[in-house]
Amino acid sequence: MSLGKLFLVPTPIGNLGDITDRAKVVLNEVDKILAEDTRTSGKLLQHLGIAKPLIAFHAHNEHHKTDMVIDHLKQGEILALVSDAGTPGISDPGYLLVQSCVANGIEVEVLTGAVAFIPAVVASGLPCNSFFFNGFLPHKKGRIKRLSYLAELEDTLVFYESPHRIVKSLEQMLEAFGDRKASVSREITKKFEEHKRGSLSELLNHFKNNAPKGEFVICVAGKN
């Protein structure tokens, strides 16, 4: 029996029009779809007119479900992995499964598609020929140590952040980096997409006085 194959399929981060034709073809042809949230992915599939079995595969179960998924792939099944939005593996589940596929000689194919930090970097006005994508900072332990390390990098720094921590993160970045140029992007591809540019202190003042809403990408100028 030949081995199966795993497709990593990016899904829209807001605007459903960003789904690619190839993504629709792959999702329609695979045997099963691994989904970060089966309810969210179910709505997308319904919109696309695709009916496939969904298996929950998320941050809280990927450690013990990876072996099960590998068994399916070893039996020749063709599977797709999707996250709630964007490209699987980028601050979303996927790394452990890809690592296990590689170790077991199972083919992995990654489709191109939506990811939030690329349009944010390009729109920031900061150098984007070389940047460091950090994703989310540690929620508690290790934040200050991480920021101290990043403060020495000359590349543009890129972070994901939630509305609940955006003010705290900007405060800590201002303290760790100094008052560098920065950009905060939110709701990329959605109706209320917005890019705020300025110094870290200016952006901090803005979000202290305007309730943060949506999902954020923070871009900060590198050292010097």
- CATH for 117-220 is 3.30.950.10
- CA–CA separation, 215 vs 166, rounded Å? 9
Minimal CA–CA distance to 23: which of 65, 67, 86, 76? 86
Q: How far apart are CA 70 and CA 77, in angstroms?
A: 10
Q: What are phi and psi of 198, to 5 degrees?
A: 160, -160
* Residue 15 contacts residue 189 (beta carbons within 8 Å): yes
pLDDT score, position 140: 84
**Which whole-number Å values give the CA distances from 70 to 31, 143, 162, in the listed order?**
14, 34, 33
Encoding tokens for residue 96? 């452990």
Task: Please report, for the chain, the start and end positions of each structural domain, with discontinuous segments joined by +.
Answer: 5-110, 117-220
Q: CATH number of the domain at 5-110, please? A: 3.40.1010.10
Report pLDDT for 224.
87
Which residues on adjacent β-strands are paired with residue 220?
157, 182
For the chain, residues with pLDDT lower than 50 are none
The dihedrals phi and psi of 109, each to the nearest 5 degrees, come to: -125, 130
The whole model's pTM is what?
Answer: 0.92
- Tell me, what's the pLDDT at 1? 73
